[in-house]
């Protein structure tokens, strides 16, 4: 019987074969900025260059391509105010599948418009994303349609993990990978494939101090509720769905964990904007800030930081611009 790491790793490899012609193989770029500690070979995996500006396109594409013809004919439903909604809408359009995305009333007009531009029907429900998700799930059950979770779905996890397949082809020897963590789909998929194929690679989970429900759940050995504070890492914020499959996967693949403050996240966003002209989202900056916090541990090592996306709200954009003045 396969353990959860091998099982997920094999699913990642299958996902790679399934989606590789439907997504962008993003570059792995070596960083030579003066701020980088000289003894460390630092590489950025540029998921901000994915079509929708985020890695989420991978999981959504894999889930949709794994649907049966009958499921495809019915269409799919998702709930997301952000990157997952965009990924599902884009993947559905490419596959000719009808998509509905439930969002809360606080979704940014620009994000809702982008989702609609991909041909998805947007439903605005409730005052927060959880209400929208509950409504979306109920609608999916009533219509007999597949509901695509942003993380609590093995095929979504496998799709996100295809990043690791590309990483090891682009750089066969990686000592550590820093990945931001929300619901655990990204690090679960990446970590499972690395632990299956390259077990010596350290998988580092990176959390905002203000939003760390999965970290505390791993410590507790079960999914628990953890008070949340606002964070610049908008795409990793939020609770963890009861029974989420990511808990067991992440317990098995995360080697070490780093917490970062809001100030450290903002500094990472500001510094990358100044040095390279890139505006990355808060979640990507969580992983970068975590690396800089731990950089001295990796002298003489090759380290990858996953730049998971570039989609930034107007509010966060304003804060970065103010920090640059």
pLDDT by residue (tens digit) across 200-236?
999 999 999 999 999 999 999 999 999 999 999 988 8
| Mean pLDDT score, 302-316 | 92
Mean pLDDT value across the chain: 94
Strands 76-79 and 99-103: parallel
Please state, in angstroms and rounded to a whole number, the distance separating the CA atoms of residues 156 and 64. 9
Query: Binning pLDDT at 50, 70 and 90, where does residue 264 land?
Result: very high
The predicted pLDDT at position 35 comes to 61
48 contacts 280 by C-beta, under 8 angstroms: yes
CB within 8 Å of 320: residues ≥ 6 apart: 266, 269, 270, 273, 279, 312
The predicted pLDDT at position 156 comes to 98
Please state, in angstroms and rounded to a whole number, the distance separating the CA atoms of residues 205 and 188. 10
The predicted pLDDT at position 324 comes to 75
Q: Give the tens place of pLDDT for each residue, 83-121.
A: 999 999 999 999 999 999 999 888 878 888 999 999 999
Among 308, 8, 23, 4, residue whose Cα is nearest residue 155: 8
87 contacts 23 by C-beta, under 8 angstroms: no
The predicted pLDDT at position 107 comes to 83
The predicted pLDDT at position 164 comes to 99
| N- to C-terminal Cα separation, the chain | 57
Among 4, 12, 31, 24, residue whose Cα is nearest residue 186: 12
The predicted pLDDT at position 323 comes to 78
Classify domain 57-148 by CATH architecture: 3-Layer(aba) Sandwich (3.40)
Return the higher-pLDDT residue of 133 and 298: 298
Please state, in angstroms and rounded to a whole number, the distance separating the CA atoms of residues 181 and 255. 13
The predicted pLDDT at position 284 comes to 97
Return the higher-pLDDT residue of 321 and 251: 251
The predicted pLDDT at position 229 comes to 92
The predicted pLDDT at position 2 comes to 67
The pLDDT of residue 185 is above 90 = yes
Angstrom CA distances, 161 to 86, 207, 231, 315, 318, stand at: 18, 19, 25, 30, 32
Domain ranges of the chain: 4-54+154-324, 57-148
The pLDDT of residue 130 is above 80 = no
Q: Give the tens place of pLDDT for each residue, 269-294.
A: 999 999 899 999 999 999 999 999 99
323 contacts 239 by C-beta, under 8 angstroms: no
Same fold for the pair 4-54+154-324 and 57-148: yes
Classify domain 4-54+154-324 by CATH architecture: 3-Layer(aba) Sandwich (3.40)
What's the whole-model pTM score?
A: 0.95
**What is the token pair recorded at 88?**
């599902």
Q: Give the tens place of pLDDT for each residue, 28-82.
A: 999 986 566 668 999 999 999 999 999 999 999 999 999 999 999 999 999 998 8
Strands ordered across the beta sheet of 256-260: 28-30, 41-46, 302-307, 176-180, 202-208, 256-260
Buried b (16+ CB within 10 A) or exposed e, 7-24: bbbebbbebbebbeebbe
Q: Count of residues for the chain?
A: 325
């Amino acid at each position: 019987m396969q353990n959860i790491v091998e099982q997920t790793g094999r699913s990642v490899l299958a996902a790679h074969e399934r989606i590789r012609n439907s997504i962008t193989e993003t570059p792995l770029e070596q960083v030579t900025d003066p701020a980088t500690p000289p003894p460390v070979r630092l590489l950025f995996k540029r998921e901000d260059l994915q079509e929708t500006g985020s890695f989420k396109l991978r999981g959504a594409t894999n889930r949709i391509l794994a649907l049966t013809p009958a499921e495809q004919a019915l269409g799919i439903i998702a709930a997301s105010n952000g990157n997952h909604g965009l990924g599902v809408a884009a993947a559905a359009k490419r596959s000719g599948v009808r998509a509905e995305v439930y969002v809360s009333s606080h979704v940014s007009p620009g994000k809702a418009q982008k989702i609609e531009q991909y041909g998805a029907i947007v439903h605005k429900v409730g005052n927060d994303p959880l209400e929208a998700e509950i409504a979306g799930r109920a609608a999916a059950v009533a219509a007999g349609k597949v509901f695509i979770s942003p993380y609590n779905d093995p095929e979504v996890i496998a799709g996100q993990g295809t990043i690791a397949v590309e990483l090891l082809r682009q750089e066969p020897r990686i000592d550590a990978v820093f990945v931001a963590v929300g619901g655990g789909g990204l690090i679960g998929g990446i970590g499972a494939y690395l632990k299956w194929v390259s077990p010596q690679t350290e998988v580092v989970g990176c959390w905002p101090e203000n939003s760390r429900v999965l970290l505390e759940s791993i410590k507790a050995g079960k999914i628990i509720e953890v008070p949340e504070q606002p964070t610049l890492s908008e795409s990793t914020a939020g609770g963890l769905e009861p029974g989420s499959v990511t808990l067991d996967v992440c317990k098995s693949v995360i080697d070490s964990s780093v917490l970062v403050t809001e100030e450290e996240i903002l500094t990472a966003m500001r510094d990358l904007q100044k040095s390279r002209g890139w505006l990355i989202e808060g979640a990507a900056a969580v992983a970068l800030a975590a690396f800089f916090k731990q950089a001295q541990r990796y002298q003489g090592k090759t380290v990858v930081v996953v730049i998971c996306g570039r989609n930034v709200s107007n509010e966060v954009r304003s804060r970065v611009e103010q920090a640059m003045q």
